[in-house]
Amino acid sequence: MSTAVPAMAERPTVTFWQIWNMCFGFLGIQFAFALQNANVSRIFQTLGAEVDEIAGLWVAAPLTGLIVQPIIGYMSDRTWNFLGRRRPYFLAGALLTSLALLFMPHSTTLWMAAGMLWVLDASINIAMEPFRAFVADQLPQRQRALGYSMQSFFIGVGAVAASLLPWALAHVGVSNVGDAGSAVPPTVRYAFYAGAGVLMVSILWTVLTTREYPPATLHSFSDSTPVSEGVEPGSARRAGVRGLAWAVIGGLGIILVSRLGLDRMLYILAGGLTAWGVLLLASSGMRGDSALSSLIGDIDNMPQRMRELVPVQFFSWLALFAMWTQSTPAVTQVHYGTTDTSSLAYNEGANWVGVLFAAYNGFAALAAVIIPLMVRRLGMRVSHLINLWLGGAALLSFLAIRDPDWLLLSMVGVGFAWASILSLPYALLAGSVPSRKMGVYMGIFNFFIVIPQLVIASLMGALLKTFFHGQPIYALMIGGVSFLLAGLMALRVK
């Protein structure tokens, strides 16, 4: 790819195969991420975790993303060396993730596994976050929907292969139970080894087949949003007032949950609000372009389009996490008629949920091919609305369908929603973010993936118990309604 571009030139159009190469690394990233999602709870339980402990152990993942992604985005915005701007982070994250994949299934204690989850998730985030900014850096506005859809395609392919890998290994004779060397079954261990290899090969492919624009060239393009646009000037006084308000709210929240004896996740949320308020207060007294003051200022002064996309992301990911956390208890109870985790019916149902998850990722890979055609005809907002509503209808259909085989049809809608969530919000956002701050704002944008996960972990159990007699199928109803709300919110994006 040429890097010698005259000042104020249009960003060059790139070929299909150049987009393929720059997105190929996401195959390995999603392979690792899918192995984590599908097997870490199994590893925790194998090492002795009780069912009610698993959600707390998993909190490491969203909290790691909350911390790592904006920091890596901030750093990659300010990096330029022989590897480029974003590619050094792809490579470093891939090396660390591969090592974590090799060591994770050899954990011998529960807390060792929990610590490895922190390392694994942080490493995945180091590699993953700059990829969003990388596509926005390299592609002109008219090709960004295609670029993010290509990422969705590789996400789907990687997730399908990784989700099915332990099942496939068991069907070719690999033992599916622990042995003297490790309590974790060989099927899981070998899948993690394969994930390390796939990740390194795919990341190296992207690093070696793509080039990046030097910062001066990148910022000179006519479609690069200047720093002065989209982000209103920061105000130390405003940050201080907001910081005081959030610190007070968070402090009152800690007192309230301690008095009422509510769930420990509420302590985390209240503590997070308090910490955020303290950071705002601290940054309001800073001068200069220190990392903390700059990052806090960027969060406090998000571009208008990002603010408009926040509720879209929030309700979209609320629906996704409701589905991911509650599909197994819902399907085994409603479609297989059991809550006995030791029964044959329960394990058949749990296996079928794995097949359903692989199916929606496969449909997402196909949807990634169709979505650019939808965008060309209908625009990004309407296309996203349609895809989210397909996902909403799909989750609501779980309440009506009783034959578990027919749930595969529901996964078509979930696949379209998933592919759209992974592409169109980022394509909508990219044109409004200053090119000098693309990385940090992509990291900040992912806050609104993490926050819904914390909400689900904190409140879903209480909601189901209070209003739905503890029936997990209604979590999927909540997810379906959330998808419908997210679609309506997409129409608010200017």
- Across 25-30, average pLDDT: 90
DSSP at 469? T
Q: Show the 3-state SS of 167-233.
A: HHHHHCCCCCCCCCCCCCCHHHHHHHHHHHHHHHHHHHHHHHHCCCCCHHHHHHCCCCECCCCCCCC
Both 262 and 393 in one domain: the answer is: no
Q: Show the 3-state SS of 61-116.
A: HHHHHHHHHHHHHHHHHCCCECCECCHHHHHHHHHHHHHHHHHHHHCCCHHHHHHH
Both 294 and 318 in one domain: the answer is: no
- Residue 342 confidence (pLDDT): 55
Say if residue 351's pLDDT is above 80. Answer: no
- Across 436-441, average pLDDT: 69
**What's the structural domain count of the chain?**
3
Domain range for 131? 13-224
Percentage of the chain surpassing pLDDT 70? 72
3-state class percentages of the chain: helix first, strand second, coil last, to nearest 5: 75, 0, 20
Both 267 and 407 in one domain: the answer is: no
CA dihedral 119, 125, 130, 133 (to 10 degrees): -170
Both 329 and 292 in one domain: the answer is: no
The segment with the largest mean pLDDT, out of 2-11, 121-130, 359-368, is 359-368
Task: Give which of 114, 149, 148 is closest to 36, Cα–Cα.
Answer: 114
- Residue 383 confidence (pLDDT): 94
Both 291 and 366 in one domain: the answer is: no
Is this structure's pTM higher than 0.85? no
Q: Quick check: is 163 in a domain? A: yes
| CB count in 10 Å sphere of residue 228 | 9
Task: Single out the residue in 298, 315, 350 at which a domain terminates.
Answer: 298
Distance of alpha carbon 59 from alpha carbon 321, whole angstroms: 13
Q: pLDDT by residue (tens digit) across 43-68?
A: 776 777 664 555 556 666 667 767 77
- 468: three-class secondary structure by DSSP: coil
Q: Are 150 and 422 in contact (CB under 8 A)?
A: no
Both 287 and 398 in one domain: the answer is: no
- Residue 228 confidence (pLDDT): 39
- Across 179-190, average pLDDT: 79
- Residue 407 confidence (pLDDT): 93
Both 219 and 319 in one domain: the answer is: no
- Residue 353 confidence (pLDDT): 76
The CA radius of gyration of the chain, in Å to the nearest whole number, is 22
Q: Quick check: is 3 in a domain? A: no
Say if residue 92's pLDDT is above 60. Answer: yes
Both 282 and 373 in one domain: the answer is: no
**Between residues 453 and 124, the one the model is more confident about:** 124
Task: Give which of 361, 442, 375, 475 is closest to 33, Cα–Cα.
Answer: 361
- Across 73-86, average pLDDT: 81
- Residue 287 confidence (pLDDT): 42
Q: Are 271 and 250 in contact (CB under 8 A)?
A: yes
343 pLDDT band (50/70/90 cuts)?
Answer: low
Average of per-residue pLDDT values in the chain: 77
Tell me the two tokens of residue 217.
Answer: 């060239």
Distance of alpha carbon 424 from alpha carbon 437, whole angstroms: 19
Task: Single out the residue in 298, 318, 343 at which a domain terminates.
Answer: 298
**Between residues 247 and 9, the one the model is more confident about:** 9
Q: Quick check: is 493 in a domain? A: yes
Say if residue 298's pLDDT is above 60. Answer: yes
Q: Are 183 and 54 in contact (CB under 8 A)?
A: no
- Across 451-464, average pLDDT: 74
Distance of alpha carbon 292 from alpha carbon 276, whole angstroms: 12
- Residue 431 confidence (pLDDT): 67
Distance of alpha carbon 471 from alpha carbon 458, whole angstroms: 17
Q: Quick check: is 231 in a domain? A: no
Q: Quick check: is 6 in a domain? A: no
Q: Are 75 and 129 in contact (CB under 8 A)?
A: no
- HSE-CB at 125 with a 13 A cutoff on CA atoms is 28
**Facing residues of 176 across strands?**
none
- Residue 469 confidence (pLDDT): 81
Both 258 and 168 in one domain: the answer is: no
CATH label of the domain that carries residue 176: 1.20.1250.20
Q: Quick check: is 7 in a domain? A: no
Say if residue 247's pLDDT is above 60. Answer: no
Both 336 and 192 in one domain: the answer is: no
Distance of alpha carbon 277 from alpha carbon 267, whole angstroms: 15
Tell me the two tokens of residue 48.
Answer: 């002795």
Angle between the N-to-C axes of helices 380-397 and 304-334, in degrees from 0 to 180, rounded to the nearest 10: 20
Angle between the N-to-C axes of helices 447-467 and 60-77, in degrees from 0 to 180, rounded to the nearest 10: 160
Q: Quick check: is 486 in a domain? A: yes
Distance of alpha carbon 33 from alpha carbon 37, whole angstroms: 6
Q: Quick check: is 260 in a domain? A: yes
Q: pLDDT by residue (tens digit) across 249-261?
A: 555 554 555 444 5
- Residue 52 confidence (pLDDT): 52
276 pLDDT band (50/70/90 cuts)?
Answer: low
Both 426 and 485 in one domain: the answer is: yes
Lowest mean pLDDT among 180-189, 205-214, 215-224, 387-396: 215-224
- The length of the chain is 494
Task: Single out the residue in 275, 298, 321 at which a domain terminates.
Answer: 298
Q: Are 196 and 102 in contact (CB under 8 A)?
A: yes
Both 294 and 307 in one domain: the answer is: no
> Which positions ≥6 away from 2 have C-beta within 8 Å?
12
- Across 147-163, average pLDDT: 83
